[in-house]
Chains A and B, each alone.
Chain A
Amino acid sequence: MSIDMEQFRQTYLEESFEGLEIMESGLLELTPGAADSESINTIFRAAHSIKGGGATFGFTDVTEFTHVIETLLDQMRSEQRDVTEHIVDLLLSSVDCLHEIFDDLNSDKELNRERINDLQQQLKAALDGESSEPAAAGNIVEAASAADSSEAGGWKISFLPHSGMLQRGNEPLRIFRELAELGELEIAISRDSIPTLSKSSASDCYLGWDLTLDGEVEESDILEVFEWVELDCDLTITPIQSSVAVNSPTVTPDSSTTSPAAAPKVVARKESGAKGKKQSVKQNSSIRVSIDKVDNLVDQIGELVITQSMLSEVGENFGIEMIDRMREGLVQLERNTRELQESVMQVRMLPISFSFNRFPRVVHDLSSALGKKIELVIQGEGTELDKTVLEKIGDPLTHLVRNSIDHGVELPADRVAAGKSETGIVSLNAYHQGGSIVIEVSDDGAGIDHNKIWEKALERGVVEEGEDLSEEDIYDLLFHPGFSTAEKVTDVSGRGVGMDVVRRNVRSLGGNVEISSKLGEGSVFTVRLPLTLAILDGQLLKVGSEVFIIPLVSIIESTQIDMEKVKSIAHQEELYKLRDEYLPIVRLHESLDISDAEHNMDSALLVVVEASGKRAALMVDDLLGQQQVVIKSLETNFIKMLALSGATILGDGTVSLILDVAELIQGKVGGSSKAKSSMKLNNRASSSAGAEVSA
Chain B
Amino acid sequence: MTKILVVDDSISMRQMVVFTLEGAGYEVAEAADGVLALDWAKENSCDLVLTDVNMPNMDGIVLTRELRQLESYKYTPILTLTTESSTEKKMSGRDAGASGWIVKPFSPEKLLNTLNKVLG
Contact = CB atoms under 8 A, between A and B. Distances in A.
Contact of A48 (B54, B76, B117): B54
B109 interface: yes
A44 interface: yes
Contact of B54 (A7, A45, A56, A171): A45
Nearest to A164: B97
B99 to A, nearest CB: 4
B109 to A, nearest CB: 7
Nearest to A67: B83
Given A52-B105, A269-B105, A169 B13 contact: no
B99 A49 contact: no
A228 B94 contact: yes
Contact of B12 (A8, A259, A262): A8
Contacts of A262: 85, 103
Contacts of A272: 105, 107
Given A166-B75, A174-B118, A55 B85 contact: no
Contact of A228 (B10, B15, B20, B99): B99
Contacts of B10: 12, 15, 49, 52-53
Given A56-B104, A259-B85, A265-B103, A168 B13 contact: no
A232 B56 CA distance: 29
A15 B54 contact: no
B50 to A, nearest CB: 12
B37 interface: no
Contact of B56 (A15, A45, A139, A228): A45
Contacts of B1: none
Interface in A201-260: 203, 227-228, 231-232, 257-259
B68 interface: yes
Given A48-B54, A56-B13, A174-B118, A228 B87 contact: no
B2 to A, nearest CB: 14
Interface residues of A, number: 48
Contacts of B103: 259, 262, 265
A44 B53 CA distance: 12
A249 B12 CA distance: 43
Contacts of A407: none
Contacts of A12: 10, 12
B81 to A, nearest CB: 8
Nearest to A54: B105
Nearest to B74: A167
B91 interface: yes
Contacts of B24: 1
Interface string B53-67: 011100000000000
B16 A8 contact: yes
B106 A56 contact: yes
B117 A177 contact: yes
B100 A170 contact: yes
Nearest to A181: B117
Interface string B1-37: 0000000011111011001100110000000000000
Given A56-B106, A265-B103, A11 B12 contact: yes
Nearest to B96: A168
B75 A45 contact: no
Given A1-B108, A53-B10, A167-B97, A8 B85 contact: no
Contacts of B83: 48, 51-52, 55
A169 B120 contact: no
A574 interface: no
Interface in B77-101: 77-78, 83, 85-87, 90-91, 94, 97-101
B112 interface: yes
A11 B68 contact: no
Contact of A49 (B54, B87, B109): B54
B13 A177 contact: no
Given A1-B23, A169-B77, A53 B13 contact: yes
Contacts of A291: none
B119 to A, nearest CB: 9
Contact of A52 (B13, B87, B98, B108): B13
A5 interface: yes
Interface in A3-56: 3, 5, 7-9, 11-12, 15, 42, 44-45, 48-49, 51-53, 55-56
Nearest to B64: A168
A57 interface: yes
A3 B110 CA distance: 12
A139 B31 CA distance: 32
Contacts of A174: 117-118, 120
Contact of B11 (A11, A42, A259): A11
Contacts of A169: 75-78, 97-99
A45 B118 CA distance: 28
Nearest to B76: A169
Given A3-B19, A44-B54, A272-B107, A168 B98 contact: yes
B87 A3 contact: no
A417 interface: no
In this complex, which of A42, A49, A139, A177 has the most chain B Cβ atoms within 10 angstroms of its Cβ?
A49
Contacts of B105: 52, 55-56, 63, 269, 272
A136 interface: yes
A48 B100 CA distance: 20
A15 B11 contact: yes
A287 interface: no
A131 B57 CA distance: 29
Contact of B87 (A2, A170, A257): A257
B66 to A, nearest CB: 14
A82 interface: no
A265 B56 contact: no
A228 B75 contact: no
A173 interface: yes
Contacts of A45: 9, 54-56
A178 interface: yes
B86 A136 contact: yes
A168 B118 contact: no
What are the 10 closest A-B residue pairs judged by CB atoms, nearest first?
A228-B100, A55-B105, A12-B12, A169-B99, A169-B77, A11-B12, A56-B105, A3-B108, A52-B83, A49-B10
Interface of B: 9-13, 15-16, 19-20, 23-24, 52, 54-56, 68, 74-78, 83, 85-87, 90-91, 94, 97-101, 103-109, 112, 117-118, 120
Given A7-B19, A12-B12, A56-B13, 16 more contacts: A2-B109, A8-B19, A52-B105, A56-B16, A136-B86, A167-B74, A168-B97, A169-B76, A174-B117, A174-B118, A174-B120, A228-B101, A231-B91, A259-B103, A265-B85, A272-B105
11 contacts: A1-B20, A9-B12, A42-B56, A49-B9, A49-B54, A63-B105, A168-B98, A170-B77, A178-B117, A232-B94, A269-B105
Interface of A: 1-3, 5, 7-9, 11-12, 15, 42, 44-45, 48-49, 51-53, 55-57, 63, 136, 139-140, 166-171, 173-174, 177-178, 203, 227-228, 231-232, 257-259, 262, 265, 268-269, 272
